[in-house]
Structure 1
């Protein structure tokens, strides 16, 4: 299903699309060379925002949880990409241990787990589920909405303590679909003989968005030079504040100063590109955190003085009760795509270095400048059908869905490459690379 693209006829994005399509051979060669030097994350999803005047990633998730929202036509591609990913770490792998979120039993999330199991079973692996919850002490059935059943089991360490598995199940590879927001459990530490993917420093107990954004700045500059575009076209401005205390009236000076500075930089760009119908705004979000929690839209620094007690409380704590102290201020990128008059944003999924599909996150109750990753959102698979895998270079910019989806894939892979650099630079054991 190709949604109505409100931005289809706006100039700047058409120019960006045209340049990307014209530079396709150079872009693909550049990615190929980069992947010779860097290892892509095992899997990844990137939230994009199409503002008409720019197309940029606004979030990069290293523990994607929406594989059930991808079009079923994309399953064969997902299986091929998963094979390529597994071959890098354990070519003769027979068993894979999948560790899902500890407390998330939402039907949609469990369907995501089932889809992941389906993908990896098709690669020739025996797949079983292990739990980090101390409440799981024996194999426990979990019902799915379609009537099928998953079984989650308690994990055990081997006699010498060097391997992690289940009773009578010794995996070569351990796949985390748990972002470790609550911390790194002892049972995941000091695993030396198996591949733990993604590594624990990809989890929110250790990972920081500011590291990712710094890496993405570098990637965007290289990409801009490659195709001769302003890197701002694919990269939101950003800043960081540490030691923010939303619960104290005087704890937001750093935020106020950075918001003012960032809004001024955005206005300057708007003036440069003749953008007159959009008011600059920024998004405040925790430097560590996910699930769309702790996010606030700000259009004027003075709004920080008038935050309600409810807003302050919402900005103070994120998933698993973790308190927010470090905050990212990110240029707000409005989304002018919609499906049936509901605001939408594309989310692109990758396994290894390959785009394997995506979906539109749609929210009928949100505006173009608001966070859509919120209760009430719905998902519409992107039309990344096999026939759309290759762009149509003869089509006029903005008229062909394959071209728009190809451009989405290119910008999403910029986020993937930035995540690769981020993981290398924050790895406590850099000799691995």
Structure 2
């Protein structure tokens, strides 16, 4: 008998209303956002109630849901007004809140019935008994800790029917999520209340201090300064494992990332899910294309986190980034005129006549061409457009749609790798 596979939702980050709309247009089944209270991304351009309402209405047109992260650790007095806040979210049409603190969980459950409660990864859920515990308290979904292995995930799925949300892409903490106080000590900013300064990603001098001897600086003896920074997670070529093991939601991290990142990564994971559910052969046929597509956006190097074993030194960034994207995001399409084959674009980076560019859009559509017949908003022919957010027109050889993105090849940049594993980016 053929096994029926459940379609997992693709859950994308949305730090602003613009990013929410982009994520939904590029295939997100749900997005997670932050409000102006109780969240962990104080710098993510968090949503007002009015923006939430507009976002919910926009998402509904595409059949998508909106979740709100309220996953900060509560100190005495922080809970004031939470009940009214949760009721407002429910009445706006928010589907669920993502919470880690038991106080907020209790308040949401009692003050806003009908609002789903999802357990945040900040609560470090790593076994099925934990999921069952939260289920008894009324939670409908648990976001697993990033430290869970694929073997553990499979066992958890067998033993509980609680919805499982698992990270598939984005930044990795060097510590257990929700357990780190580096930022508190080193910058007086509380990582568990929205103020993480990412102290683990700073550069540090190393010292050698043999027992009974004075410490000795290693500066000059090692190629680069030390960092505790982890590489990013990417499970794009392991989506079959996530689907086969019954994950309900594939979570992409990055509420502070650009619309270029959100559109590209969402597009890839949606295409991966669609392809595998059509047939394993279809997924295998496009897998390398998906991996290559990921490298067109700015991010750290990529690995699979803890899914297939404890990360080694190869999954840490001890020095400079070793791989740099070959493309830069330059524009988004505003309109297209079929009669004249002219696209109106909103510029996001420097554009030159003759630049090699790639257009891409929802549904994993993309093609390459060159910037041709570049004009400014007044209709003047120009060779270079240096100012962001200007409206420009260009000739495009095939139809594009409003919302499609344009990225340009960074010509002449190559990475030279050294024997010690470090690299330097130079012009060819």
TM over 0.5: no
Which has more helix, going by share of residues?
1
**TM-score (ref. length: structure 1):** 0.29
Structure (1 or 2) with the larger CA radius of gyration = 2
